[in-house]
Amino acid sequence: MRKKLARLTAGAGRAEQKKIIELAKTIMPNLKEASEVERAKARQAVATFATTATTSVYKNVNQTKFAKELKERVNNPEAVDQDNLNLCGPAAYCVLWAKHDPEGYAKAAIQLYKKGSYTYNGKTITANKD
């Protein structure tokens, strides 16, 4: 099963992402989708971010556009799209994360915007300037 998941993430588009998500559900069957209350908390975090002037480590990322797109992904995790970047594995992970922990997903995205890194479940991830 895990080998099949690895093959699917090697270079896939939106259709394959859906297959990856379905396969991941078989690996993690007890993973429940977030409730509307949890999704509302995520929307509130995004709304607060959107209305607070913030500087970003990424000078070419517009805060208003970023907040709008983050809200779309919180409301509809399937909107995460790796396009032609060959990053379908991380995109599929983000879809699952936004579905099952939208508040954690939103807060991590906001921290990436502000600081270029975030800590989630005790692990710190740092993105490069690109």
Q: Is the dihedral of CA 16, 86, 68, 33 positive or negative?
A: positive
pLDDT by residue (tens digit) across 25-45?
Answer: 665 556 678 889 999 999 999
User: Sorting pLDDT into bands at 50, 70 and 90, what band is 15?
Assistant: confident
pLDDT by residue (tens digit) across 41-67?
Answer: 999 999 999 999 999 998 899 999 999
Per-residue pLDDT, averaged over 92-98, amounts to 85
**pLDDT value of residue 28:** 59
